Amino acid sequence: MPKIRPISDLRNNANEISEFCRNAREPVFITKNGIGDMVVMSIEVYERQQALVELYVKLSEAEEELANGEEGEDFFDVAKRLREHVYGRV
In this structure, the answer to whether residues 82 and 69 fall within a common structural domain is: yes
CATH number, domain of 19, equals 3.40.1620.10
Residues 1, 4: Cα–Cα separation, whole Å: 9
Q: Is pLDDT above 90 for 72?
A: no
Residues 79 and 50 in one domain: yes
Range of the domain at 67: 45-87
Counting Cβ atoms within 10 Å, is residue 9 exposed (0-12), middle (13-18) or buried (19+)? middle
Specify whether 49 is located in the same domain as 83: yes
Residue type, 13: N
**End-to-end Cα spacing for the chain:** 49
Question: Tens of pLDDT along 28-52?
Answer: 999 999 999 999 999 999 999 999 9
Contact between 40 and 14 under an 8 Å Cβ cutoff? The reply is no
Shared domain check, 34 and 10: yes
Write down the number of H helices and E strands in the chain.
Answer: 4, 3
Tell whether the model's pLDDT for residue 90 goes beyond 70. Answer: no
One domain, residues 37 and 53: no
Give the total number of structural domains in the chain.
Answer: 2
pTM beyond cutoff 0.75: no
